[in-house]
Amino acid sequence: MWHKVKELKSRGLNKSQIAQEVGIHRKTVGHYLGMSEEEFYQWIEKRKNQPLKLQFYYDFVRSQLESHPYLSASQIEDRLKEHYSDLPAVHSKTVFNFVQSIRSRHDIRKPKTVIRRDCQKREETAYGREAQVDFGVYSMARAGGGRQKVWMFAMVLSRSRQKFVYLQTSPFTSSTAIYAHQLAFDYYGGVPHTILYDQDRVFMVDENLGDLLLTSDFRHYVRNESFEVVFCRKADPQTKGKIENVIKYVKYNFLRGREFVNTSQLNQSVIDWLSRTGNGKVHSTTRLIPYQQWLIEKVHLLPVKHQLKEPENARFTPYTVLKDHTISYKGNFYSLPLGTFKAEGSKVLVCHEADQLVICNEEKSPIATHPVCILKGKYIRNSDHARDKSSGIEEKMQLVVEKLGGTGQAQAFVEAIRQSKPRYLNDNLGVILSKANVENPKTVNLAIDYCLEHGYYNGLKLTELIAYFTNEQSSQLSLCRPEVHRLPIQASAEPSTSQIDIYEKIIR
């Protein structure tokens, strides 16, 4: 097995493909790949010398499996605890391995539960009547090493089997899915009358007993385009089996074994592949060539109403805002300003630019920026997000203007703070309200004029200037104050005298 795993790895297969080929777990494949041949043989010998902790219960487990082969390892573990109070404390994985070894040695296979469903083959639809849409994801090898996930949008015309595929390196949003529709209609030269979909969150918010609640962007697009939408029931892949087969076909005929270079080259390659293979070869079911059938079908398609244009927010991906005002992005949590979460389903737009995570509201206005963390399970928090600055900020600005005298200069100063320091507006307003001494309107106006003239848009600086001008004015008043005239000393008045004996007694 070790030699087989190494051989398959040398052929370029990844861990999952090797595990599927040889029939062992993916983690076991990784364990084998990390060992040299000498280490592998030492590991085998070491395992043979270890006694099985559950050997005493071998007959009991075997009898349970022979009489009830459908029992899981978890159920066997529970029955061991039920019948044997002296069962040693072992990990559940140990019990699983013990059960699997008994199954393998005595060929006790666990029966597979198959849910059978009565199905009928659908009749072929009329030309131009129907298309089916679905999404897929696949991990490709990079040309320089590593892996790259690509997300695919696929559409197939039900009658001709003419296929279209569009690929990108981020999950699809409503806007990018609409853009993919436009590309598909441009490729087909028209619009089918009806399109079948899964109940995907890209298109639909909820299904209220048959009343479909579409996302706002997709609802607006459908209203202004020619086709009707039909959403299949949950867990019902047979209804749209044509597109399910297309997704599998693209994965294992086009993407498998291909290296990722960039998105534009990949999309050009898939169009070329569709021409020569996907739509150029005889279809296994219809026994006809999809391209030749499409030449007949395209005259039955509806005209396209929307002009092809790239979505404005293609670089942004919507993320759900959690109740604790965070988003989960690639295994980490990033904080958002208080007030961002308004209700269940609140969204923000996220873009990864260089080493920064830019977060915008649905109006595409930036609300937060974080450095991207390469670790997992971390909470990246901006302490400024702990304050709710969205509620009452306008009222607070008005209070500050009124406190500073309600003049045009005061209004201009507060507005200048908002423009130059929007993230610290609430802090500046709080400092002015709590610390500014506004008893003398003249000193307040002097301080505001000085700040506006020199570009000091800072609440603390304003309070310091108000205090400075107040002290300056107090000093000038004290210098200009007239002297107090003392009463003249009368010439006849004589100072009182004391006896010398009194001072002598004090000295003694």
CA angle 16, 236, 193 (to 5 degrees): 110
| Residue 49 in this model has a pLDDT that exceeds 90 | no
432 in the same domain as 352: no
For the chain, what is the domain count?
4
- In tens, the pLDDT along 460-502 reads 888 888 888 888 877 766 555 544 444 444 444 455 555 556 5
Q: Cα(89)–Cα(54) distance, rounded to whole angstroms?
A: 10
- Boundary of a domain, candidates 244, 267, 300: 300
pTM over 0.75: no
Query: Phi and psi dihedrals of 368, rounded to 5?
Result: -160, 150
For the segment 273-281, the average pLDDT, to the nearest whole number, is 93
Q: Are residues 167 and 233 in the same domain?
A: yes
pLDDT in tens, 72-114: 999 999 999 999 988 888 888 889 989 999 999 899 988 876 6
- Tokens for 203, please give them: 């298109």
Q: Please give the residue that has the higher pLDDT: either 209 or 66.
A: 66
Whose tokens are 């699983």? That residue is: 96
Same domain, 22 and 52: yes
Strands 211-214 and 366-371, sheet pairing: unpaired
Q: Judge if 164 and 251 occupy the same domain.
A: yes
Pair (62, 80) in one structural domain: yes
| Residues in Cβ contact with 77 at an 8 Å cutoff, skipping those fewer than 6 apart | 92, 95
Q: Are residues 142 and 29 in the same domain?
A: no
Question: What is the structure's pLDDT at 156?
Answer: 95
Asked if residue 353 is part of any domain, the answer here is yes
- Report the candidate in 181, 126, 134 with the shortest Cα–Cα distance to residue 159: 126
Please indicate, yes or no, whether residues 343 and 291 belong to a single structural domain of this protein. no
For the cut 60, the answer to whether the pLDDT of residue 211 exceeds it is: no
Residues 358 and 413 grouped into a single domain: no
Q: Which residues are within 8 A (CB) of 394 and not within 5 positions of it... i.e. 6 or more apart?
A: none
**Plot region of 71 (φ>0 → left; ψ -120 to 50 → alpha; else → beta):** beta
Q: 141-172, pLDDT tens digit by residue?
A: 887 778 888 999 999 999 999 999 999 988 88
Q: Are 253 and 277 in contact (CB under 8 A)?
A: yes
Examine the domain organization and report whether 140 and 288 are in the same domain.
yes
Same domain, 265 and 156: yes
pLDDT per position as a tens digit, 381-430: 887 666 555 556 788 888 888 888 888 888 999 899 988 888 788 888 88
**Residue 204 is inside which H or E element, if any?**
strand 204-208
Chain centroid offset of residue 196 CA: 27
Token pair belonging to 344:
């269940």
Range of the domain at 34: 2-106
The answer as to whether 121 is a domain residue is no
Is 429:397 a contact under the CB 8 Å cutoff? yes
Those residues whose C-beta lies under 8 Å from the C-beta of residue 501, and which sit 6 or more positions away, are: none
Task: Based on the fold, state whether residues 149 and 294 are members of the same structural domain.
Answer: yes
Rounded CA-CA distance 121/12 in Å is: 39
| Pairing mode, strands 259-260 and 130-142 | parallel
Q: Where are the alpha helices (DSSP H) in 306-440?
A: 393-403, 408-420, 425-435
